[in-house]
Amino acid sequence: MKSRGDVAVNGRVVPRTTCPHRHVSAELAITPRVSVVLPVLNEAANLPHVFASLPAWVDEIVLVDGGSTDDTISVALRLQPEVKVTVQPGVGKGDALLAGFGVCSGDIIVTIDGDGSTDGRELVRFVSALAAGADFVKGSRFVSGGGSDDLTFSRRLGNRLFSVLVNHMFGTRFSDLCYGYNAFWSKHLPVLAIDCSGFEVEALMHIRAAVAGLSIQEVPSFERARIHGASNLRIVRDGCRILALILRERLASRSRRAAGDHKPMVPGQAPGDLAEGTPRVTVAGPSPDGAGGQAAVPVQNSRGGCGPGQRGQ
| Section 285-307 average pLDDT | 35
What is the residue type of 137? V
SS3 23: strand
The verdict on residue 94 lying in a domain is yes
What pLDDT does residue 269 have? 35
178, 74 contact by CB (below 8 A): no
| Section 287-309 average pLDDT | 35
SS3 106: coil
The verdict on residue 272 lying in a domain is yes
**CATH number of the domain that 191 lies in?**
3.90.550.10
What pLDDT does residue 6 have? 54
What pLDDT does residue 23 have? 84
In terms of C-beta density within 10 A (0-12 exposed, 13-18 middle, 19 or more buried), how is residue 159 classed? Answer: buried
User: What tens digit of pLDDT does each residue of 53-77 get?
Assistant: 999 999 999 999 999 999 999 999 9
**DSSP state at residue 218:** E
The verdict on residue 59 lying in a domain is yes
Is it the case that residue 89 has pLDDT exceeding 90?
A: yes
The verdict on residue 10 lying in a domain is no
123: left (phi over 0), alpha (psi -120 to 50) or beta: alpha
| Section 30-42 average pLDDT | 95
Number of domains within the chain: 1
Is it the case that residue 281 has pLDDT exceeding 90?
A: no
| Domain range enclosing 70 | 22-298
Give the distance from CA 49 to its chain's centroid: 18
User: What tens digit of pLDDT does each residue of 220-252 get?
Assistant: 999 998 887 666 667 788 889 999 999 999 998
The verdict on residue 52 lying in a domain is yes
The verdict on residue 1 lying in a domain is no
| pTM of the model as a whole | 0.78
The verdict on residue 177 lying in a domain is yes
Is it the case that residue 190 has pLDDT exceeding 50?
A: yes
The verdict on residue 15 lying in a domain is no
Average pLDDT, the chain: 81
Q: Which helix (H) or strand (E) holds 136?
A: strand 136-140
